[in-house]
Chain A
Amino acid sequence: MSQTSATPPFNMPPFDPAAMQAMWQQMMGQFAKAASPQTGAPRSASGHGVPPPDMPAEMFKQMQKAYLESMSRWAEEYMRSPQFLENMKHSLENALAMRRQVEDFLRKASEQSFGSTLGVYDAVGAVRDAESWITRRIDEIASRLDAIEAKLGVERKAQKARRGGASGGAGVRRGAKKTSAKKTSSKKSGTKRRSPRKR
């Protein structure tokens, strides 16, 4: 079996680039109007101001880089501090404790609603034993049915012979016998046995 590895990560409805483009341009037009010098300086999403427009771009980038590097160093130092490590430890412990409490609550609620789940493995075993017993019983009943049909088949043949009827039924019965015999043998082999070859 072969498959390409190029697959989309998720399913989406058909994408209409032209409609998206038109909508986007309309939005940008409205934004440009709002951001014009007459209406005020453009604002960032947080509502804060933007960098001074008279600052050279290169200077702005350098200042920004230096600022972010110092922020990065500060973050690294803080994440190494005993205070952070202790907070991290307690935070994780509390989160796991809450998770266990929620699971215990749900388990108890389930037990009260649907009965104890402690014996779930015993219940599964009991169901499997019941299945085996029922299957054996069905096999026995099937064998008895076959025997009864076989007897009925012989009697009918004798009746037809006495009446001088056609032998077609015997052929069918023979066929039926064979089928029954096959059925019996397959049922006697059990439903759970698996041939090692099939694995």
Chain B
Amino acid sequence: MTTSHDTTESPADPFNWMMFPFNGADVQGWFERAGMMPRVMEYARKARQGATEYEIVFESGSVKLRRYRGSVEKRFATPLLCVFALVNRPYVLDLLPRKSVVRQFLDRGFDVYLIDWGEPTPADHDRTLHDYIEGHLHRIVQYLLESCEVDQVSLLGYCMGGTMSAMYTSLHQELIRNFILMAAPIDWSDRSQLLSLWTDSKYFDVDNLVDTLGNVPPEFLGSSFKMLRPVDNFINKWLGFYDRMLDEKFLEEFFAMETWSNDDIPIAGEVYRDFVKFGLQQNLLIKGQFPLGGHRIDLANITCPVLNLVADADHLVPCAQSLPFDEYIGSKDYEVLRVKAGHIGLAVGSKAHKELWPKACDWLASRSEAVDSTV
């Protein structure tokens, strides 16, 4: 295919123009977007980190417990404790007012708490999973039991936070009334996923990495996740941005997401070593052999009602890693809710907020203790 004005480059060479964001005829569209740039920059500056007001009610070292304020009167006495992963900031669960898992539960009358694990310093490189789970998480749960005057709390764990919550529930089942898993990796038997391949012990020496670096740098983790889908993350994302940048609602969502996804934090070296070695590489959790302090985690100890939220298009934690959870637990009340979304789409996707989260709230409401109306 040749054109009269193209004199120096062959149009048959795709690199010449396949990644150009617009057809050469759409010069007007280009100028419209160019004129939009000051507004784009304004949205980039205004991008928020979270949408709902909260207060810090408890601190355990650098770990903080947030209590969110809702406009709806509290209907349920059982507090909901959200546990996010250690590799990112937790405000993805409250990214925007219309895309907030926290607000979904607040608007239904739940008392919602979220753990902010903080950022480990170089001196924290020897913190282990045991320190986080049996230390910070246990202290927080005990604080909630005392302050809310209840015997049990409900747990919601997202991604690695779900795995940690599962370990905690197996050790302290008597303290947990309901357990919600969100895209949580439990079973790493399926080795076809790219991340499982990269972290295989044949190709990845986690001991060397942790012994040399201490805490695992956020750049290492962030770039690893982005490289799982390089074309989507480095090309398609920006082509899509070009297409939609005239929509101000899109700009608000885009920059909120960009702010969060580039807000990586380091992870304590020993935690990373435990998780990679005993989880991804040796898959000890489903075998009942995952060591935590002096314990071996046995998922069969989990007997409370469990809701497993799974994203069908999750490339980070494929369905095969979280769906088999019911095969290893002792719960009789177990339900799965699936949505066609990605790993982060489960928390911020429009489809998830329209279809999945109202059902999750219904599930939890029917299993939570109501506030005593006579009090």
Contact stretch, chosen from B9-17, B279-287, B350-358: B9-17
Q: Mark B26-49, 1 if CB is under 8 A from A, else 0.
A: 110001001101100110011111
Q: Is the CB of A63 within 8 A of B209?
A: no
Report A-chain residues with C-beta under 8 Å of the C-beta of B27.
35, 42
Interface residues on A, range: 35 or more
Interface SS, A side = helix
Report A-chain residues with C-beta under 8 Å of the C-beta of B327.
none
Contact stretch, chosen from B120-128, B144-152, B200-208, B361-369: B200-208
C-alpha gap A57/B14 in the complex (Å): 16
Our pick among A17, A40, A56, A57 for the contact of B38 (Cβ within 8 Å) is A17
Q: Does A166 contact B (CB under 8 A)?
A: no
Interface residues on B, range: 35 or more
Given A49-B8, A96-B209: A5 and B51 within 8 A (CB)?
Answer: yes
**Whole-angstrom distance between the Cβ of A80 and the nearest chain B Cβ:** 6
Q: Is the CB of A68 within 8 A of B231?
A: yes
Given contacts A8-B46, A28-B35, 8 further A-B contacts (CB under 8 A): A2-B53, A6-B49, A6-B50, A20-B41, A61-B23, A63-B18, A79-B194, A80-B197
Residues of A that sit less than 8 Å from B by CB: 1-9, 12, 15, 17, 20-21, 24-25, 28, 31-32, 35, 40-42, 44, 48-57, 60-61, 63-64, 67-68, 71-72, 75-76, 79-80, 85-86, 88-89, 92-93, 96, 99-100
Among all A-B residue pairs, the 7 with the closest Cβ atoms = A5-B50, A53-B24, A72-B231, A2-B55, A51-B17, A53-B25, A50-B24
Q: Mind listing 15 A-B residue pairs with CB under 8 Å?
A: A2-B54, A2-B55, A20-B38, A21-B38, A24-B35, A49-B8, A49-B16, A51-B17, A51-B22, A51-B23, A52-B6, A55-B25, A57-B25, A71-B235, A72-B232
Residues of B that sit less than 8 Å from A by CB: 1, 3, 5-6, 8-9, 11, 14-20, 22-27, 31, 34-35, 37-38, 41-42, 45-56, 69, 91, 94, 194, 197-198, 202-205, 208-209, 212-213, 227, 229-232, 235-236, 239, 259, 263
